[in-house]
């Protein structure tokens, strides 16, 4: 049987090994209700609603008491919705019009959720999901809801696959039975993901719709660190993941306890562990993760759902919002990385046969100097105003030395930019993600203040394997010795020119590769928010002098599997 691999976004770290269970719930629609709605006695039905509301209230209080502060806040919001007058007045109106309490509640919830969703604003859309969530809790009490029952009685070792799950659904899952969750929708920072993390349930979101067609009961691995789902994995993959899962379980508990403390290796070398942020919603989890700053802010989110480029003032406000969550720590902001897999509706991105090899990242910005200038202006002002320790500007998709020179020239035209750079408040760095940039790192390093390795693209371009094509995405492994060799070359250039070399590709979010990265000489790691505590813990278990020997061996390997085996051996010794 051939292995099927699906890529998504890592939303809750950990490895789940089990069997697929495809969950297709009934939707919340009023017409699903049966004929019981005839001849309701209004006073009795109203009391039934009040009784259900009181029970849900107690349930939410209990859940909030058991949860940590961030999760408790979700339940507090749900209590506010539960006691919202608009909701109870609507229920009452429907009961007086002749509906039973169940139908009246369902109707009122659907109306309220719809009216919020129609406001077309991200904030209200998420409130609409909360309203549906509260509605499900009420309906569970009113109608002994079968959805809650189904989720509470899933088979053991379930890898649960669904289009979407609500916070309500997650609280009904039994962590003894569910080992991982794969979703089509949702986002790493949605309430669902926050709850999954608080339950220690690995989760991947943003999977392709094909996963809903998978058969039940297939052997599956859910990798919540790299954001992957393997179905019918081969023996080697299975064994390697069994090993990773067991190890992770052991050290997750200890890692979370020390998430807010600095990560220092066994031979006393401090290693900043920073966080990657993709959008506004990421902020909440990222700021509570214990990260020592932001290693990558993907600014493309500023343009999503917009019909014009935000001006410098608006961009500054958005960056300051991020900065306020990371006082006295560095904030690395990547220049807009447009093109490739990040097309935009309103900007003139040309139709290209190979967008990944086309007008992408800095190439695009140099073709549209006004976009580059606006962003640089916002970032220079950020360096003046932000409460962070320094602002680092990261140039994406550099493939030529001349691109860096031209960006430097554009920056030099900004008032105060030179002075801010000299004082260290503002830094400029190259995202090393194209092989030519890695090979010429010794020519780039003297021009800039830092390098950051983007393994997602570096692996895709080194191995000529499209990262968004599931048929070849697995080939694009950053563990491949070819990728490791150019990473080593990049680090060496940084060392010679005495500038820091970081890594911000997803590869660094896997705690098991930390010894390899530190052994290669990488000095800073930037990872997805759910992995910060785990990666810090891995740093604390690493001895850099020993890790160097491991890296030397890895660089001599011919295949990624050999590097895997080396890392396994290290793990076994720990
Ligand atoms: C990378 O390529 O590794 C990277 C960090 O950028 P992105 O994933 O946004 O292309
Ligand atoms: Mg990239």
Q: What is the pLDDT of residue 226?
A: 84
Q: Which amino acids are annotated catalytic? A: 191, 504
How many A from CA of 452 to the centre of ligand 2?
11
pLDDT score recorded for residue 119: 77
Question: Facing residues of 6 across strands?
Answer: 229
Rounded to whole angstroms, how far apart are CA atoms 218 and 220?
A: 6
- How far apart (Å, rounded) are the C-alpha atoms in residues 299 and 463? 27
Cα(437) to centroid(ligand 2), Å: 13
- Which of 9, 188, 298, 333 most suits a substitution to test ligand 1, by most atoms within 8 Å of the C-beta? 298
pLDDT at position 469, please?
A: 63
Q: What is the pLDDT of residue 315?
A: 97
Mutate to test the pocket of ligand 1, among 274, 490, 504, 507 (most ligand atoms within 8 A of CB): 504
pLDDT (0 to 100) of residue 458? 96
Nearest to 534 by CA among 340, 290, 279: 290
Q: Which atom of ligand 1 is nearest to the CA of 507?
A: 3
Position 75 scores a pLDDT of 87
Ligand nearest to the CA of 505: 1
Q: Could you write out the DSSP letters of every residue in 142-182?
A: HHT-HHHHHHHTPPTTEEEEES---HHHHHHS-TTTEEEEE
Given the CA of residue 298, which atom of ligand 1 is nearest to it? 9
Q: Where in the chain is the domain with CATH 3.50.30.10?
A: 4-26+149-251
Out of 1.20.140.10, 3.40.50.2300, 3.40.50.300, 3.20.20.60, the CATH code matching 267-573 is 3.20.20.60
Cβ contacts of 530 within 8 Å, gap of 6 or more: 10, 11, 12, 13, 188, 197, 224, 285, 289
Classify 4-26+149-251 by CATH class: alpha beta
Who lines ligand 1 at CB under 6 A?
296, 298, 337, 433, 454-457, 504-505
In the chain, ranges of CATH 3.20.20.60 domains: 267-573
Q: Give the helix/strand (H/E) hosting 253.
A: helix 235-257
Q: Which residues pair with 426 in a beta bridge?
A: 391
The pLDDT, as a whole number, for residue 397 is 98
Question: For residue 329, how far is its CA from the centre of ligand 1 (angstroms)?
Answer: 22
Distance CA 271, CA 274 (A): 9
Q: How far is the CA of 238 from the centre of ligand 2 (A)?
A: 29
Q: What is the pLDDT along the chain (574 residues), one digit of tens a residue?
A: 788 999 888 888 889 999 999 887 644 433 334 434 445 688 988 999 999 999 999 989 888 887 777 778 888 889 999 999 999 999 999 899 888 888 888 889 888 888 887 877 666 777 787 888 888 888 878 875 556 667 877 888 999 999 888 777 887 888 789 999 999 887 665 677 777 876 778 999 889 889 988 888 899 999 998 889 999 999 989 999 999 888 777 777 788 899 999 999 999 999 999 999 987 767 877 898 999 999 999 998 888 767 788 999 999 999 999 999 999 999 999 999 987 666 666 676 667 888 889 999 999 999 999 999 999 999 999 999 999 999 999 999 999 999 999 999 999 999 999 999 999 999 999 999 999 999 999 999 999 999 999 998 999 999 998 876 656 766 888 999 999 999 999 999 999 999 999 999 888 988 889 999 999 999 999 998 878 998 999 999 999 999 999 999 999 999 999 998 999 888 777 6
How would you write 297-319 as a 3-class SS string? Answer: EEHHHHHCCCCCCCCHHHHHHHH
Cα 13 from Cα 347, distance rounded (Å): 35
The single residue listed with the structure tokens 């006082």 is: 327
């Amino acid at each position: 049987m051939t292995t099927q691999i699906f890529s998504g976004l890592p939303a809750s770290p950990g490895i789940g090994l089990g069997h697929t269970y495809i969950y297709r719930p009934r939707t919340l629609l009023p017409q699903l209700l049966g004929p019981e709605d005839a001849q309701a006695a209004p006073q009795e039905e109203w009391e039934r609603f009040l009784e259900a509301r009181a029970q849900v209230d107690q349930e939410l209080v209990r859940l909030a008491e058991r949860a940590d502060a961030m999760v408790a806040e979700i339940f507090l919001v749900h209590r506010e919705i539960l006691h919202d007058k608009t909701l109870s007045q609507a229920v009452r109106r429907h009961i007086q019009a002749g509906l039973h309490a169940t139908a009246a509640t369902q109707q009122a919830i659907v109306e309220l959720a719809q009216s919020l969703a129609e406001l077309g604003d991200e904030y209200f859309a998420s409130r609409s999901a909360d309203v549906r969530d509260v509605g499900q809790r009420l309906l569970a009490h009113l109608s002994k809801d079968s959805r809650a029952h189904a989720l509470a009685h899933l088979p053991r070792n379930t890898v649960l696959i669904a289009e979407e799950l609500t916070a309500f659904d997650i609280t009904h899952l039994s962590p003894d039975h569910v080992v991982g969750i794969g979703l089509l929708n949702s986002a790493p920072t949605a309430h669902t993901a926050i709850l999954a993390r608080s339950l220690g349930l690995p989760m991947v979101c943003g999977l392709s719709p094909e996963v809903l067609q998978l058969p039940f009961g297939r052997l599956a691995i859910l990798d919540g660190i790299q954001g992957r789902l393997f179905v019918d994995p081969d023996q080697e993959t299975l064994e390697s993941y069994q090993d990773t899962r067991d190890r992770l379980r052991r050290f997750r508990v200890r890692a979370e306890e020390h998430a807010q403390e600095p990560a220092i290796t066994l031979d006393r070398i401090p290693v900043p562990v920073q966080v990657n942020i993709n959008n506004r919603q990421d902020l909440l989890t990222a700021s509570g993760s214990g990260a020592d700053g932001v290693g990558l802010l993907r600014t493309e989110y500023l343009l999503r759902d917009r019909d014009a480029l935000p001006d410098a003032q608006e961009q500054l406000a958005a960056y300051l919002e991020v900065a306020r969550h990371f006082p006295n720590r560095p904030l690395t902001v990547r220049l807009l990385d447009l093109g490739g897999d990040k097309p935009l509706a309103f900007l003139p991105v040309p139709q290209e046969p190979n967008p990944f090899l086309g007008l992408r990242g800095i190439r695009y910005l140099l073709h549209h100097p006004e976009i580059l200038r606006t962003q640089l202006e916002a970032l220079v002002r950020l360096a003046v105003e932000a409460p962070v320790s320094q602002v680092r500007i990261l140039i994406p998709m550099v493939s030529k030395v001349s691109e860096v020179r031209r960006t430097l020239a554009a920056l030099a035209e900004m008032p105060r930019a030179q002075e801010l750079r000299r004082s260290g408040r503002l830094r400029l760095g190259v995202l090393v993600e194209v092989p030519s940039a890695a090979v010429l790192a010794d020519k780039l390093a003297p021009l800039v203040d830092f390098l950051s390795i983007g393994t997602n693209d570096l692996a895709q371009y080194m191995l000529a394997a499209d990262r968004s094509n599931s048929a070849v995405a697995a080939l694009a492994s950053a563990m491949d010795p070819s990728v490791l060799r150019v990473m080593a070359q990049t680090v060496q250039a940084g060392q010679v020119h005495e500038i820091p070399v970081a890594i911000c590709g997803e590869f660094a979010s896997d705690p098991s590769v930390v010894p390899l990265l530190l052994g290669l000489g990488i000095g800073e790691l930037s990872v997805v928010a759910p992995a910060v505590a785990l990666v810090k813990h891995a740093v604390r278990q690493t001895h850099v002098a020993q890790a160097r020997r491991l890296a030397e061996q890895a660089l001599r390997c011919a295949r990624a599997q050999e590097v895997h085996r080396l890392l396994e051996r290290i793990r076994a010794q720990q």
